[in-house]
Amino acid sequence: MIDVLVVDDDVRVADINAAYVTKTPGFTVVGRAHTAAEALACLERTHVDLVLLDHYLPDETGLALVARLRQLGHHTDVIMVTAARDIATVQAAMRHGALQYLVKPFTFAGLRAKLDGYAALRRALATDEEAGQDQVDRIFGALGGASAGPPTLPKGHSPLTADLVRQVLRGANGPLSAQEVADRSQLSRQTAQRYLKLLERAGRVRLSLRYGETGRPEHRYLWRAP
């Protein structure tokens, strides 16, 4: 069983998330915390494999807590589960070592996809052998989870980059151009375009055309997956 600590300042939300975890085969909830201090105390006394961590906590942010955990030598895995959808926070989560980022509100299926991806990652890492390229691809593919794009990304594509593009689209109020996605994610336009096409082929993005004064249509992308 994979031991999970659920951290959310809202007691009701923490209970719902914990119930979702319990419904997922192979996972068990070993604690709930509603502040960063409670989370740290739980990690000090209880074995935890994975933390489902909200960013908005009353005493400090979730990302600040992750940074402090690493300084204290805690290497527990983290999946951010938060309403924070600004790109700066998403990028900071990546840099702090969060394995995944799930934006509220979400469904049980959305969280289970992340948990199943995490379980797949642990299975891929359960070897003492040296990793060949196929094994490396499986490891990084597991990080993507079912909601970041197609089940298996083509070689040369990063699950984290695909997830960043997905977060930009999900946080938008309407369709975006490839340049707008690039600006918001701080990726190059070419990279944004490549991942947008990948997500469109996977059925996660709806493509539309907008005609301007030049007569050349602009491609616009809208997130449509649940």
CB-side neighbour CA atoms (13 Å) of 183:
6
36 neighbors 65 (Cβ within 8 angstroms): yes
* φ, ψ dihedrals at 210, nearest 5°: -125, 125
> Mean pLDDT in the chain?
84
Please state the separation of Cα 99 from the chain's center in Å: 7
Residue type, 174: G
Q: Among 67, 68, 58, 65, which residue's Cα sits nearest to residue 35?
A: 58
82-126 confidence digits (pLDDT tens) = 888 888 888 888 888 888 888 888 888 888 888 888 888 887 777
152 neighbors 141 (Cβ within 8 angstroms): yes
Can you give the pTM of this predicted structure? 0.63
pLDDT at residue 224 greater than cutoff 60: yes
137-158 confidence digits (pLDDT tens) = 555 555 554 443 443 566 677 7
Helix pair angle (87-95, 62-71), 10° resolution? 10
